[in-house]
Every structure is written in C-alpha cells, then in structure tokens.
Structure 1
Amino acid sequence: MVKAKDSHPSVEERAARGRGCRVKAPVISHEDWTPAPDRPDPVALLEEQNITREQDLVPVRHGRMLVSPFTFYRGAAKIMAADLKDTPRAGLASQLCGDAHLSNFGVFASPERTLLFDLNDFDETLPGPFEYDVKRMAASFTIAARNNGFTKEETRDVTRTAVRAYREAMSEFAQMGTLDIWYARLSEQHLVEALELAVSTGKSKAQKKAAEGVEKTARKFVAKARTRDSLQALSKLAELVDGKYRIVSQPPIVIPARELGASYGMDADDVWHVIRGQLRSYSATLQDERRELLERFEIIDLARNVVGVGSVGTRAYIILLQGRDQRDPLFLQVKEATRSVLEDHLPKSRFKQPGERVVQGQRRMQAASDIFLGWTRSEQGNRYLYWRQLRDMKGSAPAEEMKPIGMTVYASFCGWTLARAHARSGDPIAIAAYLGKSDKFDRSIAKFSERYADQNEQDYQAFADAVRSGRLEATDAD
C-alpha cells in the first residue's frame, strides 16, 4: 500500500524545505534584475487595460498617473506583474495582495471598533510567490523616497527597513502557534508604542525632534481617521433637498443615479430596479446576522464614483442608505472586480467570480475585515463587483509628505504587516528558513528595488511622451 503524503509535516521538515529552496533561488539572486529582451511596451499594457474601462474616465486615470513616477507606479501593477514573471522564485507560495505598494496600507476600524493598521486594497489578490509582494512593496519605498528627494543612503535605508521588518517578523511568526498568527494584528496602541520608541531612541537632539514631529503627525492622522465614518461622509458627499438627503453631483468624479440613466440607456426607474436587484444579490453573500443588519437600512441614493489611481476607469459606485433616521446613514462602496493582473502569468483564481476572488483574498490576508464585505455580478454586461463600507475610520498616510524618519518608521509597519498577511496563508516556518537570519535578503531586494525604480522612471517618461504626442489623453481632474 502506498503511504499517503503527509499533509502536516513537522517543524523540522518545514524548515528544511525552506532552506532547500535556497538552491533553486539563492537569496542574493533577487538583486540581478534586468528588463527582458522581449519586454512588452509599458504604454501598450496600459492601453490594453483601458479597453474595458469607462472611456470618459481613462483620461482621469492618465492624469493621476502623470503626476510623478510614484503615482505612475501606483497605476502600473500590470506592468510590474509582467516583469516579475521572470524573476527568481523560491517556490514558497502565499496569498498575495498583488499590489502591495506603500499607499495600499492604512488604518481602518475592526468590527470591535479597534483601529488597525493593515493592507487595504486587494483588487489584484491571488495565491503566488511571496517574493512578488515583497518586491512590489520594497520598490514602492525606493520610488517614493526618490520622489520625496531623499539621498541615496536615506532611500536605501528606508527600503532595507521595509524588507528587514518583513524578514524579522516572519522569523517571529515561525516561532508562534497557528492561532496566535491568525490573531496577530497591529493596533493603534502598537503604532503609538513604536512611535514613542522612535522618539526615546533618537541619538541626537535633531533626531529626537524629528521623531517627535513624526509622532505628532501620526497622532493627528489617527485622530482624523477616527472621524471618517458614514456620518462624516454624509456631510461631505450629500446635500439636503426638499427634506431628503441626496448625493451631490461633482462630475466627472461623482455622478448621481439621477444623472446616470442617459449614460447607460436606462431611465430612472430602470436604474433603481437594477440597484435593488443588485443589493439583494449582494446581501445573499453576507453572513445571516449581517444580512439582517443590512436589511434595517433603506436605499436613499447612488452615484458613480472615481477612486484611487490604478483602478480609475473600472466601475465604482457609492450607495447612501439610511437606518432609523437621516442621522443614521450607511455609505457602501461598490467596486468592479476584474481579472487579477497576476493571472496573466500565474494560475488562474479558483474563484470564477472576480468579486469573490477579491473578498476571499482579503479575508485571508487581513487581521479583521469589514462586516459588509461581499460580492455580486453586474446586470450590465459581463462585469463583477465587490461591496464594502465606504468609510469606516479608513485612512492612508500621505507618502508624498513623509520625511526620512517618518517613512522609515512607516516602512517597518508595512514590512511587519505584509509578513503577517503572508504567514496567515503561507508557511511562515519555511519562508523564515529561506530568508535566514542575515541581511542578505534585505540587501538583495534593496538592489532589485533600485534597478526597478530606474526602469519605472524610464516607463514614466515613455508614458509622459505618449501623453505629449497625443497617443494618450490625460486630464488633471481631481
């Protein structure tokens, strides 16, 4: 009789597997990146994405990407996915964010109303080589640091900090119990303690002063995030007309349902019929008690909304619902889910519905997820959507305003968080054994990031030239 393969190998076996992966992909091999001879035209890849997007919003996307090499990088996940397919892989997989740049981390409220720091964008999530996320994250720090005018040494230190935090955190998770990893999270209190430590360990007066400035800014950021809820969104996005709230028209960024009908060849009654049908389909993907909670709210208004950089042009909506009265609002965000850019080069998702791919990936990676996270299929063509709260104490740190010490502290948060997300779905013991205890992996990824940042600048220039030549249209609409 053939013995069944052991699906629960010992700690020693898992560690041995990780060390064995160094033969296939030595940790220093990640630094040797050069563009492939047959590398696709980066502008053509963006044009390919534009085909299925809302055509009136494509220039808005281009305008946002045109601001700087960093904003271009934020919208260039498809380009980097094509570049990563030929890079070394250890053979250790985990659930990937797919777009783990530094602006896709931030704070939000857990269901218990605790403020957490975590990944917050999963449009490209897919199982795959853990290195993909690490490289996407690390390169974003190099590019952002350059964009902010950091010196070469400061840029290198920030990038290495992010990777070192990942490696050291993975080593810690390798020593933890399975449930302990699942429950691990970076709370507001942990953020405050880390900032206080940065202040106390400042070696010079100037360093202490800079660290104090970072702590003060971070506290203001957290305090502001706490105010970002549906009631605050009501004051920003809605207006009271004839005793009823409705979403304010701010084209092309926000277009209410009352103005959408003509765009899709539907009258107002048809629009509302579709909305209610979609809400029923979406609610069926929620847990029973959450579906019952949602049913206590009634739909008040809906609008198309433009969000982010890379996702501009995919369909996105905001829905205003009302509970007991007008001072009890709930804003939901509905975003189109397409194929992950990683599916061009990795095995396709086991979920046929891209919205479910996003939701299930998010639940696997986040320490806590939105109680209203769900998915549905659009009645307009072969499009798929996922749903969540629009604002639930959500906030992202403004990367363009960070100084070296602030970005360094932030890099440590991001590295730890990404490691925790990977440890939940991957094998932290094998990954930690592969990474090792030295800084070889840190330095290797930092060198990769420098090379990739150089390529990103060339791609940005090609993109800017395409706009100037008229090949691409761009608008600076906010």
Structure 2
Amino acid sequence: MLQHRVAGSSDGRFDAFRNFARARAEGQILLPPTALGPEERRLHVRQTIIDDHDVRIAYRPEESAPKFKLLAQSPYQFFRGTALLCFRDLAGTDASLPKIITVGDVHPESFGVLPNEEGQPSFGIIDFDEAYVAPFSWDLRRGAVGFNLAARENGDSKKRRARLVASFLEGYRKALKSFDRQERDKAQRFVVGNSPAMIDHKLEACALDHKVFLMELIDLEKRAFRPSDEIAPISDQVDVFQAAIDGYRKNCHIDASGRVRDFRVRDVAIKKRSGVTTQGQERFYVLLEGISEESKDDVVLEMKLRRDSVLRGLIPRDQQFAGDELERVVNAAQIHQLGGAPFHGYASIKEHDFLVREKSPYRGRIDLAKLDRRSAREYAQICGDCLAQVHARSDVEGDVSTRTTERQILTCVDWDTFSGDLVRFAEAAADRVVRDADHFRADYDDGIFKWKNDEKAKPE
C-alpha cells in the first residue's frame, strides 16, 4: 500500500526545487538528481511520482491506478507520463539561453490535428497544459528524448535514433531561419492544401463529418451522451454546469455567433480513462447547443481540472505568466495555435477550477511506429518545424531585445555544436529513462503503486 502525505500538507517540494534551481543557475556546486547513485535515484523517481500525483492519490487513488499501470508498460509510456521527473533533471540548466513561452511537454504525440476557428482541421501542437516561460532549449531537449525513446520502442539502432533526433532538430533550425529571413509568415498554418504531403493526407483523412463524430458520443434524437466504458452521463448536473459555462463564456475567445448560439448546456458526462499524463485527473464532457436547431451542429467541450505546470519553480530566474494559472494555458494556446483554440477558456465549479476547450472531432495523431524510417525522419522534421513556429511567436515582454525571438535563438549558440550536443543528450537521457522505468516497474510489481481494486482498472 502506497504511503503518502495527506493532501495539503506538502507543496510537492516546490520551495526546495526552486531554491535548487536558483542556486544551480548561480554556479553553486550542487548534486543534481541526474548525479544520484542507483539507490538514491530509485527513491527519487518514486518520490517525484508521488509528488506529481499527491492530490489524486489522496482523494481518488483508484482513479490513478490506470495511469500507473500504463506507466509500467514501456519506457516511452513512462516518459510521456512523468514530465515532472524530466524537468527536475533540467532544474536550473540553460540559464543563459533565451526564455520564451515554451510548450512544456514536447514528444512525438504532442503534435496532431485540432479544429481551427472555422472548425476545420489544422496540424500543430495539441497540448499546452504545461506551457511556461522557460529556456527554449527545454522544449528541444524533451522532444529529442521523446523521439529517441519512440525509435527505441520501434527497435531502431543507436545510429538510426540519432538520425531521427537530428531530423527533428534540423526541421526546427530550418524553420527558424526561414522565419528570420521573412520567407515564411509566422501566422501560416498547416491546413489542407498548405502542408507537407504527409500532413496534407492526414488532414484530408480527418475531414470527418461532424455528425458522424457526434453520433459516436451522443444520442442525437435525445441530445444526450451515450453511456459507455469511457462516458458516464450526469444529466442531473446540467444546471450546475450551465452556471459554470455562463461564467466561462465571459473569458472565452470565440464569437458566440460563430459555432454556438446561446451556450446552452444540453447534457453533461464524466470522461473516464483520459490520456497518459491526465489519467486520474477529473474531466467532463459538456454538450452545447449548436448554431442551428439541429443536433448535428452541437459542440462538445472538455473540462479538465486545473493543475500547475510541472515547470513551476524549476526555471532559472523564474518568470511568471501575466495573470493566474488558469490564464497560463489559455494565453499559451492563443499565442501558439494560430487561431486554432477558439473555445479555450476556464470555468469554476464549487471552488474547483477547470480548463475548457473543444473536444476535437479529429483522430489526428500520426503513429510513428507505422512509418518507415525515411517517413519517420520526415515526420520528425515537420514536428521540429511546428515547434519552431510556436517558439517564433512566443516573444516574452521584458526578456527580449529589439531582435526577433528567432534571431535571438539562432545567434545564441553555434548550431552545429548545439545540435550535436542535443543528439548525445537525448541518447544519455533516454538511457536514464529506461533505468528509471525499470525502478518504477519494480516498485509497481511490488505493489507500491497499486490499490485493492487495481485489477478492475484498465489503461486506454
């Protein structure tokens, strides 16, 4: 049985790691988590995972069980669900490099298809929950490790892993150079007819009829969610959620006349078995009445319980977003998604805060495991391009000169050396993730991260 502190009695070692990050940035000689011995590292991995899930463990431990089971499946799944562990290893590093509004959790599956302001498919970054002001290199480091681990999972050799990571970094550099020479518009989106062939085909395949998407979730005649293993309707709570949506409407970026008429809530459901990072984190689906009288125009919103970014307190000379934690993700989405986040906002229910966004009707991720090696490198380069566009749009007031962000990034390092260093970093860090995943899996097999009803829990 997992032993943990009572929720509210700990700040997840926030102050300790903030002080560590500041001291390391000032050049003091300290022992970072990456320098721990095998036994100390095992305990660090366990405690960091507990820190990252302490509220969920305290209040709903049975709902965290599916996530822990998923983390035990492979090093890549472990990496995807343990961003806090990754960034605690980076605490205080790269202090001299330009800081921007980073994505915060870059990996091969953080790129995909979302609806733009017209509801049409567009390709790019799809998750900004961890967005934070940090050195630009932190996105590149996590992304590089993610591509290395994905290649390992596909059985690629060390040389092929290096080529895949190098393709990701080269796509990033080429795009930044293009923006710097003003050969490309930083507001250009990857949409049908305006994308590399691989992405164009994916976008065309995603052009699913909205009615078909709704039919998978909703009884269109009743305008109500269909019960399933993943969806539990709570129709008796419509009035509670209507009040929350009325508040959300005030900070929502969408023109109410565009996709919905009066933000009228037709039904509500609990969404179970969410993504790797958010397993066990409370989430709801809300059905809004669309612009017409017909149910085929209705819109489904996701409401996800707010959590602080895992980067909080780890940044050299930590900077905060303007506004509060709720505004952090919404602001990042508006900057980064090029008009593709019209429903992003936030709402409150009984003193709990939720991030709100449209449930995407598109199954829009590209499975790296299904690509041949040449296509995989092409995809990695496209992802680097997308990340560069996000960074180029992420000027942080007070932290940049009169030069553009892309110029600052391009001139702050020797890129050939920097890229080579990142390829080697990715290999070494991925080796560490494999060892960390082994530590976790041993703890998991020993029952440390299990509960009595864990045998009922199934991962996605």
Sort the TM-score into its range (normalised by shorter chain).
Answer: 0.7 to 0.9
**Residue 309 (1) aligns with residue 289 (2):** no
More helix as a share of residues: 1
Identify the range of structure 1 (105-114 vs 333-342) with the bigger mean alpha-carbon deviation.
105-114
Aligned residues with identical type, % of pairs: 23
- Separation in 1 of the partners of 2:122 and 2:253? 22
Contact 2:253/2:344 (<8 A) preserved = no
| Structure 1: runs of 5+ lacking an equivalent | 1-23, 25-32, 196-214, 259-267
Deviation at 1:348, TM superposition (A): 5.8
Contact 2:122/2:340 (<8 A) preserved = no
TM-score by length of 1: 0.78
Identify the range of structure 1 (394-403 vs 128-137) with the bigger mean alpha-carbon deviation.
394-403
Change (3 A) 1:141 1:57: same
Q: Aligned AA for 1:43?
A: R
TM-score by length of 2: 0.81
SS state of the match for residue 302, structure 1? strand
**Residue 283 (1) aligns with residue 249 (2):** yes
Equivalence for 1:149? 155
- Which structure has more relative contact order (CA 8 Å, sep 6+)? It is 1
- Separation in 2 of the partners of 1:375 and 1:440? 42
SS state of the match for residue 331, structure 1? strand
| Structure 2: runs of 5+ lacking an equivalent | 1-24, 26-31, 396-404
Contact 2:148/2:165 (<8 A) preserved = yes
Structure having the higher Rg: 1
CA deviations on 1:385-409 (whole Å, 9 max, x unpaired) are 1111102445111233333222211
**Residue 191 (1) aligns with residue 195 (2):** yes
RMSD (Å), alpha carbons: 2.6
Change (3 A) 1:63 1:403: farther
Equivalence for 1:45? 48
Change (3 A) 1:440 1:151: same
Q: Aligned AA for 1:356?
A: E
Identify the range of structure 1 (145-154 vs 346-355) with the bigger mean alpha-carbon deviation.
346-355
Equivalence for 1:433? 411
Match of 1:342 among 286, 306, 311: 311
- Separation in 2 of the partners of 1:219 and 1:188? 5
Match of 1:326 among 288, 291, 295: 295
Match of 2:227 among 249, 261, 266: 249
Q: Aligned AA for 2:337?
A: Q
Q: Aligned AA for 1:410?
A: Y
Equivalence for 1:239? 219
Change (3 A) 1:236 1:114: closer
**Residue 409 (1) aligns with residue 378 (2):** yes
- Separation in 1 of the partners of 2:164 and 2:445? 33
Contact 1:332/1:390 (<8 A) preserved = yes
1:6-405 to 2 correspondences below 5 Å: 35-37=34-36, 41-53=44-56, 54-112=60-118, 115-176=121-182, 181-192=185-196, 195=197, 221-227=202-208, 229=210, 231-239=211-219, 243-251=221-229, 253-258=230-235, 268=236, 271-287=237-253, 289-290=255-256, 294-305=260-271, 306-323=273-290, 324-346=293-315, 347=318, 349-351=320-322, 353-379=324-350, 381=351, 383-393=352-362, 395-405=364-374
- Separation in 2 of the partners of 1:97 and 1:106? 14
Contact 1:34/1:451 (<8 A) preserved = no
Identify the range of structure 1 (145-154 vs 38-47) with the bigger mean alpha-carbon deviation.
38-47
Equivalence for 2:401? none
Contact 1:321/1:330 (<8 A) preserved = yes
Q: Aligned AA for 1:454?
A: D
CA deviations on 1:54-102 (whole Å, 9 max, x unpaired) are 4332011112222211111110111111011143343301111000111
Identify the range of structure 1 (288-297 vs 326-335) with the bigger mean alpha-carbon deviation.
288-297
CA deviations on 1:85-144 (whole Å, 9 max, x unpaired) are 143343301111000111011122322455322111000001110010000111100000
- Separation in 1 of the partners of 2:33 and 2:417? 19
Change (3 A) 1:232 1:288: closer
- State the aligned residue count: 405
